[in-house]
């Protein structure tokens, strides 16, 4: 049985974008539920292999934003929810199997869980503020999402008290969360996985020393350390120099996986010193826009072999998706692409935008090797 822990982190424990993926399917038909592959991952492996090692499968996604803006009369998420008879799990219908069959799913939760309408003074002029009722946390727990990164530019949309309320709501639902001062720890197959999260956008100078110290401290205790960064420029398809520097710094300090978000666009992956750096996983379930100009993204999956406290990467694969099950609007139902042309367009964007990165991965596997 999986056991979940959360621990306070003690002491002081980055170009011009290319064009987005174009939809080139001549039929351009909606991706209906029945058209989607029934399972996007193979069945879980045995708990422990004969050599005493454990195989851990981890899934990571980009921005997970639900609910709406209390200042606005129209709430596009609630409209879609009503169209699905109030079933909050409608959003995950085409990804649920994937999340239930892995060992850990980690998403970037960008928003708050609250009924409060309070808006701090420094947020009142913001274009977007996000909140959802606390009961919507079941969208995570009911669909195999065990952990969230909780340090980004929207977690404080309704102030510090609501941020704390969101943390407590997640904990009460059994969801592990992390930020720069609170390390989330999740256990599966007897392996404890540590997670750290940082908002870097305007804070790099305060993080150059803190991040590697935090990671080194976590790695001294836990065999597998995942670091999430909220960084980069919105709508960019490539990382900034600061992102590249910070990502590699995290690896050098002991991170076993680095995942990023904020740009709302998919960015290429690097393989640096034996560790994958996902600069941006783009959007995933995103209620911030009724039809983003680029609705293509991908889900990242990786496997680790852990034996005697030593963690070794066993390769990755991606699942190209559209953040909606329909093409003409955003219905907040992330859906794997099934046509070769659309999948190829995602792969092309990732490969083309990785050409200037020193350690970019040469291929983006769609299946386990």
In angstroms, rounded to a whole number, what is the distance separating the alpha carbons of residues 60 and 44? 17
Q: Which residues pair with 319 in a beta bridge?
A: 299
| Reported confidence tier of residue 95, pLDDT bands at 50, 70, 90 | very high
pLDDT, tens digit (0-9, with 9 covering 90-100), for 12-42: 443 333 434 433 343 444 554 444 434 443 4
Mean pLDDT of 320-329: 97
Q: How many CA atoms lie within 13 A of 267 on its CB side?
A: 34
Q: Which residues pair with 321 in a beta bridge?
A: 297, 336
User: What SS3 state is found at 358?
Assistant: coil
In angstroms, rounded to a whole number, what is the distance separating the alpha carbons of residues 270 and 279? 8
Tokens 């750290």 appear where?
Answer: 196
| Reported confidence tier of residue 256, pLDDT bands at 50, 70, 90 | very high
Centroid of chain to Cα 9: 21
**DSSP summary character for residue 309:** T
DSSP secondary structure string for all residues of 159-223: -HHHHHHHHHHHHHTT-EEE-SSEEEEEEETTEEEEEEEEE-TTTHHHHTTHHHHHHHHHHTT-S
**DSSP summary character for residue 273:** T
Residues 6+ apart with CB under 8 A from 227: 195, 196, 197, 198, 211, 215, 250, 255, 257, 258, 259
Q: What is the pLDDT of residue 156?
A: 85
Q: Which two tokens stand for residue 357?
A: 């990165």
| Reported confidence tier of residue 123, pLDDT bands at 50, 70, 90 | confident
Is 180 within 8 Å of 197 (Cβ atoms)? yes
Q: What is the pLDDT of residue 48?
A: 63
Count of all residues that appear for the chain in the document: 369
Q: What is the pLDDT of residue 154?
A: 87
Residues 6+ apart with CB under 8 A from 217: 9, 10, 11, 13
Q: What is the pLDDT of residue 262?
A: 95
Q: What is the pLDDT of residue 126?
A: 86
| pLDDT of 78 higher than 60 | yes
| Reported confidence tier of residue 69, pLDDT bands at 50, 70, 90 | confident
What is the domain partition of the chain in residue ranges?
3-209+225-247+264-353
Q: Which two tokens stand for residue 34?
A: 């029945």
Q: How many CA atoms lie within 13 A of 45 on its CB side?
A: 16
Q: Say if strands 269-272 and 275-278 run parallel, antiparallel, or are unpaired.
A: antiparallel
Among residues 97, 194, 198, 209, the alpha carbon closest in space to that of 143 is found at 97
Mean pLDDT of 238-262: 98
| Reported confidence tier of residue 97, pLDDT bands at 50, 70, 90 | very high
- Containing 4, the helix (H) or strand (E) segment is strand 3-8
Is 114 within 8 Å of 158 (Cβ atoms)? yes
Among residues 207, 114, 220, the alpha carbon closest in space to that of 165 is found at 114
The per-residue pLDDT of the chain, averaged, comes to 89
In angstroms, rounded to a whole number, what is the distance separating the alpha carbons of residues 348 and 24? 12
Centroid of chain to Cα 359: 22
In angstroms, rounded to a whole number, what is the distance separating the alpha carbons of residues 67 and 293? 20
In angstroms, rounded to a whole number, what is the distance separating the alpha carbons of residues 279 and 227? 11
Q: What is the pLDDT of residue 196?
A: 98
Centroid of chain to Cα 251: 18
Residue 110's alpha-carbon distances to 57, 77, 150, in angstroms, are 24, 15, 7
Mean pLDDT of 86-94: 97
Q: What is the pLDDT of residue 128?
A: 85
In angstroms, rounded to a whole number, what is the distance separating the alpha carbons of residues 29 and 302? 31
Q: Hey, which CATH number is domain 3-209+225-247+264-353, 3.40.50, 3.10.50, 2.60.40, 3.60.21?
A: 3.60.21
């Amino acid at each position: 049985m999986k056991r979940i822990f959360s621990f306070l982190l003690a002491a002081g424990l980055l170009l011009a974008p290319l064009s987005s993926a174009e939809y080139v399917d001549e039929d351009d038909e909606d991706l209906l539920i029945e058209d989607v592959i029934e399972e996007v991952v193979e069945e879980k492996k045995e708990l422990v292999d004969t050599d005493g090692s454990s195989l851990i499968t981890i899934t990571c996604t980009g921005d997970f934003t639900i609910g709406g803006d209390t200042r606005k009369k129209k709430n596009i998420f609630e409209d879609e929810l009503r169209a699905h008879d109030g079933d909050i799990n409608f959003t995950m219908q085409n990804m649920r199997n994937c999340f239930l069959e892995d060992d850990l799913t980690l998403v970037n939760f960008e928003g708050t869980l609250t009924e409060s309408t309070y808006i701090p003074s420094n947020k009142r002029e913001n274009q977007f503020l996000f909140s959802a009722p606390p009961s919507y946390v079941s969208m995570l727990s009911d669909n195999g999402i065990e952990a969230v990164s909780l340090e980004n530019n929207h977690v404080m949309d309704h102030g510090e008290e609501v941020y704390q309320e969101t943390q407590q709501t997640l904990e009460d639902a059994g969801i592990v969360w992390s930020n720069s001062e609170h390390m989330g720890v999740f256990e599966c197959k007897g392996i404890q996985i540590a997670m750290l999260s940082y908002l870097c956008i305007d804070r790099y100078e305060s993080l150059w020393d803190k991040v590697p110290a935090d990671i080194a401290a976590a790695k001294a205790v836990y065999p597998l350390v995942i670091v999430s960064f909220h960084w980069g420029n919105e709508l960019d398809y490539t990382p900034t120099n600061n992102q590249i520097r910070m990502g590699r710094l995290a690896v050098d300090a002991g991170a076993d996986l680095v995942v990023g978000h904020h740009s709302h666009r998919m960015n290429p992956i690097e393989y640096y010193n034996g560790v994958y750096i996902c600069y941006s996983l783009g959007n995933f379930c995103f209620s911030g826009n009724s039809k983003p100009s680029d609705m293509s993204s991908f889900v990242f999956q990786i496997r680790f072999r852990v034996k005697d406290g030593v963690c070794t990467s066993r390769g990755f694969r991606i699942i190209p998706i559209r953040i909606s099950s329909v093409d003409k609007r955003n219905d907040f139902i992330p859906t794997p692409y099934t046509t070769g042309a659309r999948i190829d367009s995602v792969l092309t964007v990732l490969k083309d935008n990785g050409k200037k990165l020193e350690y970019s991965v040469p291929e983006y596997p769609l299946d386990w090797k």
